[in-house]
Chains A and B, each alone.
Chain A
Amino acid sequence: DAGVIQSPRHEVTEMGQEVTLRCKPISGHNSLFWYRQTMMRGLELLIYFNNNVPIDDSGMPEDRFSAKMPNASFSTLKIQPSEPRDSAVYFCASSSPGLAGAGSTDTQYFGPGTRLTVL
């Protein structure tokens, strides 16, 4: 398995521009999570989906941030307009509930991240 795939790996943009980050979860996983990591705030959960449905978006900083999951194999995180304080590493992770009766550790598998720099 290729693992969680994120693109782009690096993004440099100017303030006010729209930024779209992409994620392909591991095939068969039914939960997808978007995180943001900064030195100041550590790792923050922004939003997560279960079976393509947004469950909790309380971590989304403000209306400039939006996330979609149109199907089980693709999700986007969009920032419009972007601001310098959005500069961070954005991670996508996916997990699976495991087989019924087999027990599940709910392990999350992380992608390599997208390093976003907003000038």
Chain B
Amino acid sequence: GEDVEQSLFLSVREGDSSVINCTYTDSSSTYLYWYKQEPGAGLQLLTYIFSNMDMKQDQRLTVLLNKKDKHLSLRIADTQTGDSAIYFCAERSGGYQKVTFGTGTKLQVIP
């Protein structure tokens, strides 16, 4: 079945870049996503990438996709304290819009 894995924790200093990594197993994934969860809230879509793309940039966010290695990363440039949250990697898998989520990476930004 589908499996999505992430490291659990990342700590960076304010102003530095953050890189959150993810690996997945389903080679037929069509979309891969990054969701952000702030304390006490639900998950919110941050960005996504279609599987035929290698890279997508959106302001401070850069998503890199290596389909061969089934590796997805999210780079946040100039990380701010407001970026502190849990980041979930996810892949579109199966039918009916089902998405498989990773374990989440807790990003701590140190002022």
Seen from chain A, the residues whose Cβ lies within 8 Å of a Cβ on chain B are 4, 31, 33, 42-43, 45, 48, 50, 55-56, 91, 93, 95-97, 104-113
Contacts and interface: CB of A to CB of B under 8 A. Distances in A.
A31 B99 CA distance: 11
Interface residues of B, number: 20
Contact of B96 (A4, A55, A113): A55
Given A42-B103, A105-B31, A50 B96 contact: yes
B5 to A, nearest CB: 11
Nearest to A29: B97
Nearest to B103: A42
Given A105-B31, A110-B42, A95 B97 contact: yes
Nearest to A92: B42
A107 B96 contact: no
Interface of A is mostly: strand
B97 A31 contact: yes
Nearest to A49: B96
Interface of B: 31, 33, 40-45, 48, 88, 92, 95-101, 103-104
A108 B88 contact: no
Pairs of residues from A and B, 9 with the lowest C-beta to C-beta distance, nearest first: A110-B42, A50-B96, A106-B97, A95-B97, A31-B97, A42-B103, A110-B43, A107-B45, A43-B101
Contacts of A91: 42-43
B98 A56 contact: yes
Given A43-B104, A93-B43, 10 more contacts: A42-B103, A43-B88, A50-B96, A50-B97, A95-B97, A95-B99, A106-B31, A107-B48, A112-B41, A112-B42
